[in-house]
Amino acid sequence: MSFKFKEEFKELFFSSLGRDSLGCSIEDFFGDSVESASVSVRINEEKFRHLLSFSDEDFSAKSFEEVLETLLELPPISPIKWCKGGYYLKEKINFTLSPLFRNGAYYVQDSSSMFLQLLEEQIKSRCADSSAASFNVLDLCAAPGGKSTHLLSAINEICNKTGDIKRLFVCNEPITKRVGALLENVEKWGYENVLVTSNYPKEFQRLAANHFPLFDIILTDVPCSGEGMFRKSVEAQQGWSVENVRRCAQVQKEILQDIWPLLKNGGLFIYSTCTYNHFENGDNIEFMEFEIGAENLNELIKESAVAAGAIPVFSKDNPQHILGFQFVAGVVNGEGQFFSLLKKGGEPSNQSSKPSRRLNEKQIIKNSLRVLNDEIVAVIKGKDVVPSHSFALSNKMLSIIEKNRGRSEVELYIDSVTGELIEESGRNSRKCLSLRFMIAEIKKETALKYLRKEPLSPLEILPSFSSNFNPDSLHRGYILLTYKHLPLGFIKNLGNRINNLLPNNRRILNQN
């Protein structure tokens, strides 16, 4: 598919990024077909470590990339230089039919969108400087969840190293039809203390009005004209106009004004778009600096950003002042992405004086916003304890599998009112119910049948048993299915049939 660029776009592209510094035609950047776009993935390090711990293969003679290719069933890969855990695929594969993709072992994401790794040192500093007992992060326009899951991994790793800091992550998506993908991706990434919300930025103002600023980091990957996705989206090309660019820029300014009061003093503000023009990028950063009062931190990430291949975007009024950085398709092996790092100045406010401080941050958000997910381990139905799918895919379940390695049955205790998991030490002080389940490792073809919600037989669930295995002796009740020892979800063996408990909206629809 050849591109036919509008002259207005060409003029705006070069005026925004600098024709002289780019030094070639626009076609040189975008290539001449969608096939020129790369495919890349980011590894879920928690789940990869689990995979590796259960593997009995000898990897002593293999490179780390070869280990990843083997365990994650990927084609040959090569590292993305600016993102630890990010890799290009040298061949395209059908991710839909990969059980390891379906249970969150890796995420398919454009390499340019993995720019958050470049901000790691500043995020570490913010974690270390935070005097609060909790560290709270908001991804305002989060669907489908690539940057959310990336930031989730980074924040949890950093907070674990800097001390026992409670953390809360809010992944928000205002567009209803986009929320489903966000819920699924956050769920299978496996982390706790994540709330998925669906509110427009203006609705967040009630948090700032009734409570103190809540967030240490706010990420705003704002809706934009999509110029950076031209290689992948014909619709983005055909729908482009200067009028639409200006409309987007105005909406973005409104979003920035709405959400800025939610950031704590000293907090980090990450602004990004997948577009190139100065109206939506540099101009909005200057708006934040001069109209909102944001401090510019881009000089701190200049070295790493430029080393990654990002082009600094300078102020037209001050050619030494960096407003942000631009990944350009063709300059880097990825699509177009602009990003900028800002900070809210001022001394930390005395939040303890607020009456609402008696409520924790999670409860404040639940009371004020439309929260779509929950963190229950099980649903109580009479005397039956039904384990949730999100619990099956959680990192907490990885720990349970590791702790019960070699056991035929797992027994957990669930709060009979809340459905929460009760630790061993708290059993005597709370009314609880028992949740028992078996863990069964299955083959790939059985995993795909489960993910399609097709009927399963006992012999498929326990293929390692000999031919004289009696199907009637299969564990009655709940069974956690794993593939390569990573959880896929639960089934329930009733004796005369097996119920597949995979949620309908998670099943594979593609039968090829």
Q: Which domains does the chain have, with CATH numbers?
A: 112-368 (3.40.50.150), 378-506 (no CATH)
Percent of residues, the chain, with pLDDT higher than 70: 88
Based on the residue annotation, tell me whether 141 is a catalytic residue of this protein: no
pLDDT digits (tens, 9 = 90+) for 56-70: 999 999 999 999 999
Question: Residue type at 266?
Answer: G
pLDDT value for 348: 67
Contact 415, 431 (CB under 8 A): yes
More confident call, 3 vs 40: 40
**Residue 1: helix, strand or coil by DSSP?**
coil
Q: Which of 59-68, 389-398, 472-481 has the lowest mean pLDDT?
A: 472-481
Which helix (H) or strand (E) element contains residue 176?
A: helix 176-189
pLDDT value for 36: 63
pLDDT value for 208: 77
Q: DSSP character for 82?
A: T
Q: DSSP character for 329?
A: B
pLDDT value for 10: 86
**Residue 10: helix, strand or coil by DSSP?**
helix
Distance from chain centroid for Cα 379: 26
Residue 195 main-chain phi, psi, to 5 deg: -110, 130
Work out the pLDDT band at 483, boundaries 50, 70, 90: very high
**E strands present in 178-227:** 194-197, 215-221
Mean pLDDT value across residues 291-310:
97
Mean pLDDT value across residues 10-21:
81
Mean pLDDT value across residues 156-182:
87
Catalytic residue, candidates 171, 248, 274, 432: 274
Distance from chain centroid for Cα 185: 7
Q: What is the pTM of this model?
A: 0.93
Closest by CA to 204, choosing from 195, 196, 189, 214, is: 214
**Euclidean distance between CA atoms 145 and 194, whole angstroms:** 12
**Euclidean distance between CA atoms 99 and 195, whole angstroms:** 25
Work out the pLDDT band at 355, boundaries 50, 70, 90: very low
